[in-house]
Structure 1
Amino acid sequence: MNAAEPRGPVDSSRVPRYAGPATFARLPRLDEVGTADVAVVGVPFDTGVSYRPGARFGGNAIREASRLLRPYNPAQDASPFALAQVADAGDIAANPFNINEAVETIQAAAADLLDTGARLMTLGGDHTIALPLLRSVARRHGPVALLHFDAHLDTWDTYFGAEYTHGTPFRRAVEEGILDTEALSHVGTRGPLYGRKDLDDDEKLGFGIVTSADVMRRGVDEVAQQLRERIGDRPLYISVDIDVLDPAHAPGTGTPEAGGLTSRELLEILRGLASCHLVSADLVEVAPAYDHAEITSVAASHTAYELTTIMSRQVAAASQSDRHSAASRASGAGAPGE
């Protein structure tokens, strides 16, 4: 955590929430604070979609909806923006006409942010962006555990011969050795598939599956416990496709599927993962053109808030542990017999 006190959101008692720049949660821009412990960054890219486009506008829609977020999170008993410096790092601009080039651009820009010591909360964009983000995170942490919240598997091989699409990132990630195959799980999957082979291939890649029906039957506490046991203390990356939510809770997405999670279930499962070692996360596939009354964007903003809170708490805990270690070393330096 930065030595200086973190700079938090704009004071809503002085500036109305609907006024001023729409940074995430009305937080400062990264260039206003210099460095951040958690950087919220947008990736307005949706060239990898297979059905409805529009997720390129998702990041800014989430930022607009996040104006109503407040600085204290009672569900996690934490003030995330006081515990760590969280800042809006703006957008990574990627070529919308060349997927391969865009993937390289996103990977390089994410690596630059991670090299500052920040954890990333990335706002997509379509799910294609998960691959370059995972490459950058694995470069720093080694192969990472993955929890993938989505209606779909996203482990297909190709679409129309293309290897990089929003339906293929996690197959590529396993093939590249950047995921810990002992700690992978989809959460919230449902709906028709192309065939039984989809599930067989997914299992061979190392993924466990918690379907949306499993969440309904088992409940969020049991599911969260199961996921914690699968992840252990490994570095964890969480990827959330907003279509993990039922279309009643998230109509604004490109490939909606009936029978999904409620927003309450998603938030509660994420809160149940607060003890996991979350190194970065993404939230993708918000397509505001199909979003009625900002239902999807509001759910997405709260999802990003919970993930940001988890990372901020862990930054603060690590900083406190470092201070205790330094104090112990200092107190032992002059001990008798040394």
Structure 2
Amino acid sequence: MFPGATDDREAASYVVVGAPLDATTTFQPGTRFGPDRIRRFAGSFDDYDHHTDQRFTELGVHDAGDIRPWDDVAAYCDHLGSHLRGVVDDDAVPLVLGGEHTVTVPAVDAVDPEVFVCLDAHLDLRESYDGTEWSHACVTHRALQTAEEAIIVGARTGSVAEWNRASEADVTVVEPDAVDDWLSDTPDFGDDSVYLSVDIDAADPGFAPGTGTMEPGGLTPQQLGAAVRAVAPACDGFDIVEVNDRDDGQAAALAGKLLRQFVYEHAAADGDGT
């Protein structure tokens, strides 16, 4: 159980769902261990958040456990999506623990947002990778089949075709050296529904080495936290993905902290805090 996720499913405002998919990860596999590690390394955090004057245990969080994957990625994602649509239909916010970034695709489909915001080192705008469209390298491309707009924060690498796609009007890329300016004037999402995805490799690997495709020159934990807090109030869904078991818990601890920051800020903006 994610620490502090003590509410019953029927009463929950937020539902944690583990999605330990590890089918298309490149360079360093191990995302199958991500959900358990995030839960484990979130155990040391205090219940109380002084920024929002709230206790995590009072915010209506339930942990529904893991949806275990199998070899057919498309079928698994369809199955995962049906569970997440059930969460949305119950007027709760899904909080997905990856697993590889591919699990974001059914989550976005379930939430059906206008805007997809992704903290990521990579553009993930490929139409296919290694012969499949069900790849972690295709997530933003796939998300744009549902959302009208994508904002990629922290991206610093991609193919020529991806950078060309990123230059189109429905994609905004905030590169690492522009993140502080973006944080000082974050978008006004108005009434638009937003989905926020956090690929832990958005962080500089010095802070979160436990991920599959490390890319130097990334964001600090403070920048990631500020971005999550800024976007959370507009969100109807959230995930944290690409954590593996190749470090001493740095990536998992950061992931757990970001999830908690999301819930605190979302609940404070929604009036659910005490």
Shorter-chain TM-score bucket reads over 0.9
- Of 115, 122, 135, 1:152 maps to 122
| Matching of residue 248 in structure 1 with residue 206 in structure 2 | yes
After superposition, residues 32-43 of structure 1 pair within 5 angstroms as 32=8, 34-43=10-19
Equivalent residue, structure 1, for 2:250: 295
Equivalent residue, structure 1, for 2:153: 187
Measure how far apart 1:49 and its partner are.
1.6
Measure how far apart 1:225 and its partner are.
4.1
- SS of 1:179's equivalent in the other structure is coil
- Of 236, 239, 262, 1:282 maps to 239
After superposition, residues 51-62 of structure 1 pair within 5 angstroms as 51-62=27-38
Q: Is the contact made by 1:155 and 1:168 (CA closer than 8 Å) also made in structure 2? A: yes
- SS of 2:231's equivalent in the other structure is coil
- Of 75, 80, 102, 1:106 maps to 80
Equivalent residue, structure 1, for 2:225: 267
- Of 52, 76, 82, 1:76 maps to 52
Measure how far apart 1:203 and its partner are.
2.6
Task: Give structure 2 stretches of 5+ with no counterpart.
Answer: none
- SS of 2:105's equivalent in the other structure is helix
Question: Which protein shows a greater Rg?
Answer: 1
Equivalent residue, structure 2, for 1:132: 106
Structure 1 or 2: more helix by fraction: 1
**TM-score, normalization: structure 2?**
0.93
Equivalent residue, structure 1, for 2:178: 214
Equivalent residue, structure 2, for 1:234: 192
Once residues 169 and 130 of structure 2 are traced to their aligned partners in structure 1, the CA distance between those partners, rounded to angstroms, is 22
- SS of 1:121's equivalent in the other structure is strand
Measure how far apart 1:33 and its partner are.
5.2
Q: Deviations over 1:298-323 (max 9, x none)?
A: 11110111112123224435x99xxx
**TM-score, normalization: structure 1?**
0.76
User: CA, structure 1 residues 43+284, in 2 after alignment: closer, same or farther (shift >3 Å)?
Assistant: same
Q: Is the contact made by 1:45 and 1:94 (CA closer than 8 Å) also made in structure 2? A: yes
User: CA, structure 1 residues 205+57, in 2 after alignment: closer, same or farther (shift >3 Å)?
Assistant: farther
Letter in 2 for 1:308: V
Equivalent residue, structure 2, for 1:93: 68
Q: Deviations over 1:170-222 (max 9, x none)?
A: 21222x3x1022xx21001114x332x3211123371101111222xxx2xx3
| Matching of residue 119 in structure 1 with residue 93 in structure 2 | yes
Q: Deviations over 1:50-101 (max 9, x none)?
A: 332111110110000111122211233333432x311111111222x11111
May I ask how many residue pairs the two structures share in their alignment? 274
Higher relative contact order by CA 8 Å / sep ≥ 6: 1 or 2? 2
Once residues 265 and 69 of structure 2 are traced to their aligned partners in structure 1, the CA distance between those partners, rounded to angstroms, is 28
Indicate the RMSD between aligned Cα atoms, in angstroms.
2.0
Letter in 2 for 1:194: S
User: CA, structure 1 residues 160+273, in 2 after alignment: closer, same or farther (shift >3 Å)?
Assistant: closer
Measure how far apart 1:155 and its partner are.
1.1
Once residues 225 and 233 of structure 1 are traced to their aligned partners in structure 2, the CA distance between those partners, rounded to angstroms, is 21
Once residues 147 and 265 of structure 1 are traced to their aligned partners in structure 2, the CA distance between those partners, rounded to angstroms, is 15
Equivalent residue, structure 2, for 1:11: none
- SS of 2:79's equivalent in the other structure is helix
Q: Is the contact made by 2:196 and 2:239 (CA closer than 8 Å) also made in structure 1? A: yes
Letter in 1 for 2:19: V
- SS of 1:167's equivalent in the other structure is helix
- SS of 1:25's equivalent in the other structure is coil
Once residues 91 and 51 of structure 1 are traced to their aligned partners in structure 2, the CA distance between those partners, rounded to angstroms, is 24
Equivalent residue, structure 2, for 1:202: 166
User: CA, structure 1 residues 145+24, in 2 after alignment: closer, same or farther (shift >3 Å)?
Assistant: same
Equivalent residue, structure 1, for 2:264: 309
